[in-house]
Amino acid sequence: MSDTDGGWFDEPNQVIIWERPVIVYTYIKPDKFVEHLSQLREFLHRMGRETNQGEIAVEFDGQFYRITQYDALQEAENDSSNQNQ
């Protein structure tokens, strides 16, 4: 697989930031994938939120999905993180 270049627009500074994003390819079992879709969604939102990403992109079955607004922390996550402090 070849290297990939990607860019994102930094609005406050009005410049395009070029970088080399990490792309992950995987083969899946469709029935298991659908069974765990809500967990994948939760993970993608958490990853975007916790790593301060402007966008998380996912391609599946020829469709390209862009996540730019992340779900708020779940109450259970808040409770468990408070216990670990």
Q: Is the pLDDT of residue 59 over 50?
A: yes
Phi, psi of 18 (to 5 degrees): -95, 140
Which tokens go with 17? 């930031």
Residue 43 confidence (pLDDT): 94
What is the C-alpha separation between 37 and 30, in angstroms, rounded? Answer: 10
What number is the average pLDDT over the span 33-42? 93
Average pLDDT over residues 1-21: 85
Indicate if the pLDDT at residue 1 is higher than 70.
no
Domain residue ranges in the chain = 24-78
Q: Which pLDDT score is estimated for 76? A: 46
Using the structure block, give the residue that is written with the tokens 């408070």: 82
Predicted pLDDT at 4: 82
Side chain identity at residue 30, one-letter code = P
The closest alpha carbon to 21, from 2, 1, 7, belongs to 7
* Sole residue written with tokens 């958490």: 46
